[in-house]
Amino acid sequence: MAEHASDPDHWKQDRKEGPRHFLDMEAYGGPEHLPRTLEGAQAQLGGDYYRRGVVPWIIQDRWQDLVAAFRTGDPEQVAFATAILGHYIADAHVPLHTTENHDGQLSNQRGIHSRWETGLVERYVQEADLTVSPARPDPAFLGRPWEWLRAAHALVPQLLEDDRVADRTTPMDGRGKQRTQAYWMFLWPKQGPVVRQQLQLAGQHLGDAILNAWIAAGKPRPPAPPAG
């Protein structure tokens, strides 16, 4: 699973792949107006709907792949399908994957996507600091991605504000390009709890996805371990 978790990011040479990782809520008038079907998205936006992102529907499709993998009884297929599904579930928990201002380009904050999603994680997050709740049976699981996206979108304003304040408080290096250590030390106490929360939720919801796919597949028995 770990070996393949980032595979979808390497598929982006396919022009159709990029929109599978996000959903621009502003295009629909905000979180309360999101369509639940691709047909509804097309009805609202016409031919522009795909360019605005399709991650919740991709999560549904990849979850069905996991159900099918469980039915095969092949552990490698189950692991691969889980890895790919987990990537898109994680994307749905990144606040900047829910907004057209995905890299701060609309607010003069370019690079914020990488600073939040990668910079903070690589500098500060330790796996031992993360806890994930047990998976739960959920007959309504396929409708949950919209809830995750709305919750993540609500985090965007404070995320952008904390980045603005950190930039004002901690000047960049003399070349005007790299954030100083002071920037990260200011941003982490503000956004660190949010980063940890979203990582933990993504893990929890992937666990829910696995359990509910197994249930939908008829609760197949795991294959017997190899002899010897």
| Tens-digit pLDDT profile for residues 106-117 | 999 999 999 999
Asked if 36 contacts 146 with a C-beta cutoff of 8 angstroms, the reply is: yes
- Checking if the pLDDT of 226 tops 80, the result is no
Q: Which two tokens stand for residue 144?
A: 């949950």
pLDDT-based confidence at residue 173 (cuts at 50, 70, 90): low
Of 86, 84, 82, give the one whose Cα is nearest residue 69.
82
pTM of the model: 0.93
- Among the listed residues 217, 205, 227, the one whose alpha carbon sits nearest the alpha carbon of residue 77: 217
pLDDT class of 172 with cuts at 50, 70, 90: low
Q: What is the 3-state secondary structure (H, E, C) of 86-130?
A: HHHHHHCCCHHHCCCCCCCCCCCCCCHHHHHHHHHHHHHCCHHHC
* Cβ-contact 209, 89 below 8 angstroms: yes
Q: Looking up tokens 């309504």, which residue turns up?
A: 140
Name all domains of the chain by residue range, CATH numbers in brackets: 7-216 (1.10.575.10)
Per-position DSSP letters for 66-97, written without gaps between them: HHHHHHHT-HHHHHHHHHHHHHHHHHTT-GGG
Q: Which of 62, 87, 88 is nearest to 213 (CA)?
A: 62
